[in-house]
Structure 1
Amino acid sequence: MTVLDDVVATYPAAVELERLLGDPRDATNPFGFGAVVERDGAALFPEAFATELAPHLGLSFVPPEDGGHLSTMDETLTLARLVSRRDGAAMPATMFSVTGAGCVLLAGDAGQRERVARLLAAGGVIGFAMAESEHGSDLLANECRLDPADSGGFRLNGRKWLVGIGDRCDALVVVARTGGRGPAAFTAVLLEGEQLAAVRRDQARRTSGLRGIDSTSVSFDDVEVPADCVLGGVGRGVEIALKVMQLVRVLSTAANLGCADTGLRLAMDFAGEHVFGGRVLAEHAQPRRVLATAAAMLFACDAVALPASRAMHTLPAAQCLWSGIAKRVATDLSAEIFALCADVLGARSLLHDGPFAAFDVARRDNAVVRHIDTAPDANLWSIATLVAQFPESPPEMEVPEEVAATFRLGDPLRPVRFGELDLALRGMDPVTAGFFGISAAVIAELGTGSAAAARVKRVDARLRAVIRAMHRVRARGVAGDPARWDLAVRFCWLHAAASSVCLWWFNRERRLYSLPAGSAGWLSAVLSVLLDRAGDRTPRLDAHDTTGTYTLAETLHTANKLFSAVPVALAPPRPVCSTDGK
């Protein structure tokens, strides 16, 4: 058994889930593409997924000591990715409780955590209510109030909106104002039983994608909330929510990865069968380059998301930055993947029937994920603030073992401790520091004359330049300076490149993406697209990277494997019976 086989073997739940879900191209499969197109057309909730999978996936992020099924977060990410490649709406249908349940796991007492785990095990849903329509992402302006009551508890008054599956939830975490100003003016409470029954659930709202996953407004009119419903203490509501959003951002990348997998796979199917000018599209240079570029973007998302999920175990305090970067990279690149693949499919990318109808469903589902959990601009503002606090000249340092273990796929991980999530970095970002610590050795091993080595050198120089530029912008002291946002976007792409280099370096004795151990073909293409994006250029692979990346994508696709460094075998196609019964 190769080392790669050992890595795949660490995802037994994902392998079993894929087997259970079957071939998505099977027209009779309730978990297939045909079923998702029908549900989308009628805006129906994915009941089959929720009934079959919610009791399992709903506990996939819950540590065993709290009654859950969590093995590693990268396996949980893979589970959600396998579900999302069939139906983007299936992930929220089975895992939308992650935000509300995460708040309880992070700050709840033993009784609250036990009740939540029991509810999830029964297939129940825990909603999360924080946003208000009048204030959007300006959370500190929220008005819904939790005022002291004579009973010693509170009275809850106000309105929240866009509560995911709010019409179905069996418990609800609400963040409401208990004080005057600032983050400490808000408190989180868990509403169950009588308290939940007193909540008025108003008209549901639907989005253009994730149809069937309704977001509901909820209203509170003097709802009595006992003191023992508080999570973590009065004044900790915003802190708890912002920390849990780090987990949500990392896991949400699974929806982008899954939807983009479907988009690329359908486009490759079409390119392999549609004849143009006497040859199938896949034999023409431009469609091959387009699909190779899309594949390189998907590999880049994978190279960011897998380590970020593992860092929930090893480097939780870094998630205040890393999770936001993973979210930005996955949402931006997945949208570009769909744009590229749509150019290959042409008008078929818009049709709601036929063999490629799932493409448009996946594209619309993917677009909605961008706005779940954190507004894009708020996310960038947070990233800019954190990067501005880096040392202007990052010191050279050895790579700590926890950084190496994060990137070494298959290495054992310590248990997740949600309480170690933080809102600020304590020192240098471990990915940036780790990259600077290995970049010279990486360049030497790749060979100074190689394209990959040259790109690693450019990533090193540009990362340092962005950090210095962020310090200059900060020193100007101009409130709301747009340059901070521009630099934050550039940093995201370069951080993704650094993560990709670290993934290659710490696994160079293993097979990644089904390539021979040490192969840097995938890395060269990934760095090409990320450096182009960091330079505000449209990514275009050169002829060499196009050939290698298309061949790799075609190999994974033909072998029916996930487009991932850990290429999990997908459900085999259903055998086709002949009409004469032979």
Structure 2
Amino acid sequence: MTAPFAAAALLDELLGDPWRPENVYGFAAAVARDTRGDFPHAFAARLDSVDFPLAYLPPSLGGALRGLDDTLQLVRVAARRDAAVMPATLLSCSAVMTVLAAGTPEQAKTVADWVQEGRTIAFALSEERSGSDVLAGECRLDPARDGGFRLTGRKWLVGRGATAGAAVVVARTAPRGPAAFTAVLLGPRELARVRRQSAQPVTGMRGIDFADLVFEGTPVPRTAVIGDMGGGLAGAMRAQQVVRLLSTAACLATADTALRTALRFTRGRRVGGVPVADTGNGSRELAVAAAELFAADLLSLTAARYAHLSPATFGLCSSIVKRVATRLTASTLSRSRSLLGARGVLAHGPGAMVDKAQRDNTVVESIDTSPFGVLRAVAIQLPGYAPVFGEPNGAEPGGAVGSAVEPGSPSDGVVGSASESGSAPGGEMRSPMDGGPAPAIAAPPAPAPRSASGLAAPIASEPGSASGLAAPIAPEPGSASGLAVSSAPVSGSASGPAVSSAPVSGSASGLSAPPTPDPRATPVVEPPPPPALDTLFAFGAPLPDLDPAALDLSARPKDLVLLGFAAHAEGLARDLAGRGEHRAAALVRDVRTALADTFSTASEAHRDRSRGLGSSPELLDLAERCCLLYAAAAAALAWRAHPERGLYGEEPGGTGWLTAVLAVLLALAEGRDPRQAAADLPAAARALTRLDAARLLFTAFPVLLSDGPAPEEDETT
């Protein structure tokens, strides 16, 4: 059986040792390109030659997607060398996912063919004047006499706007409301009539052109409309769930590079005869940084599997993983830079590498959904989970309304809410990994029709197996590379026609408070149950086909991680205590209590107009706290799924990494400096050293790297 993430290890081997100065795919070459502001042409071409840009495209459309967790690791091993190569090769993801989520099978095949031909498909959503308020967008799609349309206006900071061969554009087709926008697919013929302005320089991921597209009555055929008229924002928002997830790969990659650089420097640099890594401050900073990176890593891997297993309930997880990954890795990078001391400000050596990684990481925070937009989307969902977690005294729910049961059991209960009527997470969107700042969206159009199970009904699904096999490491016959698709690809719905969406009432600015869920509502039992937790946390194991058409925007309390943790936290704590791991057990109980308190407080705030999103930042603070606690819950459930396997290189059943991760996340959730949890952290620093010594990626399951020793620093420079 192929080892999990073997394709990522193969790709890293193909790219060679990144520490060697002469390696064009290495760190020194990346710093040199960054200094010049050059596009990573040779690097992108090498990745093209092994089908890397097909890693997010379903096999049914000619892609190489085995599972998004596998794709996440592939992107990480490439982007750790130079994050600028990530949008250079996966730039089309936003546009393609929008088509797969809302377009026709013919449109899906068209964009898939373009990607395989090497074309870049830009995603144009943002407008400079409207900024974060997407409902104020002025770019228009007007009816034409020939039965088609005319596109007029300007889209701002479009990733690869100056060089893309096609584009998905979201434009206004009605006077007002969330259903006033329509998405269209422009091919090379249409783009030939579009004026492209010069690219604007950016602080990170240099070399990627962010240019404006100017439409001056550009002809657009009626067949270019993606889905229904008025469904443009809904389709784009659904697609963004996958884009947000994949963007976290750049966060993890830059943090891995910075922390590995700092670790190697501090182990070689001595102060008073003692390696900096072994001093009190050095070891503590390394431990905190490691725990932060491990927490982001676990949550990203979990979210990647979640998107396959239950796309209809993935919305909350998608927002949370984006916020957690950007926040925690930014902190990891900051700590890494501080560990370099004066060398952290030099424009060569380790300082230059960490500086580039830090600037690249900062760009990721705002290129699909802004921090404010993410927290708004999370805040709207918090009250629905108050009944699930019960009172904040830590008591296990049982029998009461909203009681939590294991995802996967026949009695999986869901608390009904006003959100069921069609109100969904609002918030600010930004043009995806290809895009720039953008749009705040009020409550989006109503979700797609539901099947009897309550999950989004598949649209234009094709018959076929529910899952596929992992790809072998050896190349497929006729494949261009060893990174080819699974030997047993499965057929599945890659796309389908969009479902007509009705607008939802809301302010034109998109900042009105959503309807308040009623915590007294009767639970709704909806068969079949969601997948078992063991499947969710089986990192690297085969997954069902990704079905973008099933992604949903509703805010029902059905998140697999939260329901699973509510059901199993106490049992997990007892298991840990039975193994003698009393500190880990206490931290698990603390996480559950903190989540219960967070949801209860949010429910009270939603009922109080003076504490709502429109008048108080309290709910945003609660959303921030929930994001951190959610990551802690995911870490605990990951340990539960692998009790006899040591994650992060620990011995089987080891809880050192878990204790460190929970301690840091709880401290952050409580507003404390995570360094105050120093007593719980040494195991994280040991894990970090162990992984680097074994040439492994800083991730839960082993991914072998091609790294050799870091070059010796010249003390005279």
Pairwise TM-score range, normalised by the shorter structure: over 0.9
Structure 2: distance between partners of 1:30 and 1:256: 22
Residue identity opposite 2:536 in structure 1 = T
Residue identity opposite 2:336 in structure 1 = C
How far did 1:315 drift? 1.6
How far did 1:543 drift? 5.0
Aligned counterpart, 2:280 = 285
User: Does 2:242 match 1:235?
Assistant: no
Mapping 1:320-339, distance limit 5 Å: 320-339=315-334
Mapping 1:21-100, distance limit 5 Å: 21-54=15-48, 56-100=51-95
Aligned counterpart, 1:580 = none
More helix by share: 1
SS of equivalent to 2:20: coil
CA contact (8 A) 2:264 2:710 kept: no
How far did 1:233 drift? 1.7
User: Does 2:223 match 1:215?
Assistant: no
Do the aligned partners of residues 546 and 94 (structure 1) sit closer, same or farther apart at CA in structure 2, a change above 3 Å counting? same
Structure 1: distance between partners of 2:660 and 2:709: 34
SS of equivalent to 2:204: coil
Q: Which moved more, 1:543-552 or 1:42-51?
A: 543-552
CA contact (8 A) 1:317 1:425 kept: no
How far did 1:59 drift? 1.1
Residue identity opposite 2:705 in structure 1 = L
1:143-190 deviation per Cα after TM superposition (whole angstroms, max 9, x unaligned): 100011111111000001111111111110000001122111110000
Mapping 1:18-417, distance limit 5 Å: 18-54=12-48, 56-392=51-387, 393=390, 394-400=402-408, 401-417=531-547
Instruction: Give aligned pairs, total.
Output: 570
Residue identity opposite 2:659 in structure 1 = S
Q: Among residues 675, 688, 691, which one is paired with 1:553 in the alignment?
A: 688
Give the TM-score normalised by structure 1: 0.95
Structure 1: distance between partners of 2:335 and 2:386: 38
Residue identity opposite 1:335 in structure 2 = A
Gaps of 5+ in 1: 1-5, 577-582
Consecutive aligned runs of 4 or more in structure 1 exceeding 4 Å deviation: 541-544
Aligned counterpart, 2:483 = none
How far did 1:311 drift? 0.7
Structure 2: distance between partners of 1:298 and 1:140: 36
Q: Sequence identity, in percent?
A: 42
Structure 1: distance between partners of 2:151 and 2:384: 38
Q: Among residues 571, 582, 590, which one is paired with 1:441 in the alignment?
A: 571
Do the aligned partners of residues 425 and 403 (structure 1) sit closer, same or farther apart at CA in structure 2, a change above 3 Å counting? farther
How far did 1:256 drift? 0.4
Structure 1: distance between partners of 2:264 and 2:56: 34
Give the TM-score normalised by structure 2: 0.78
Structure 2: distance between partners of 1:480 and 1:354: 48
CA contact (8 A) 2:566 2:592 kept: yes
CA contact (8 A) 2:636 2:658 kept: yes
SS of equivalent to 2:123: strand
CA contact (8 A) 1:143 1:177 kept: yes
Aligned counterpart, 2:521 = none
1:459-492 deviation per Cα after TM superposition (whole angstroms, max 9, x unaligned): 0001011111111110012333211111110110
CA contact (8 A) 1:313 1:417 kept: yes
Q: Which moved more, 1:269-278 or 1:522-531?
A: 269-278
SS of equivalent to 2:572: helix
How far did 1:115 drift? 2.1
SS of equivalent to 1:447: helix
CA contact (8 A) 1:49 1:94 kept: no
Residue identity opposite 1:498 in structure 2 = A
Residue identity opposite 1:86 in structure 2 = R
How far did 1:542 drift? 4.3
Residue identity opposite 1:369 in structure 2 = V
Aligned counterpart, 1:472 = 604
Q: Which moved more, 1:339-348 or 1:521-530?
A: 339-348
1:108-137 deviation per Cα after TM superposition (whole angstroms, max 9, x unaligned): 222222221122112221100001011122
Structure 2: distance between partners of 1:247 and 1:33: 28
CA contact (8 A) 1:314 1:403 kept: no
CA contact (8 A) 1:315 1:402 kept: no
1:49-83 deviation per Cα after TM superposition (whole angstroms, max 9, x unaligned): 22121462221111111111100100000011111
How far did 1:285 drift? 1.6
User: Does 2:497 match 1:502?
Assistant: no
Q: Which moved more, 1:200-209 or 1:524-533?
A: 200-209
1:338-391 deviation per Cα after TM superposition (whole angstroms, max 9, x unaligned): 111112101212222124421110011001100010111111111101223335
1:322-344 deviation per Cα after TM superposition (whole angstroms, max 9, x unaligned): 01100100111111111111121
User: What's the C-alpha RMSD, in Å, of the aligned pairs?
Assistant: 1.6
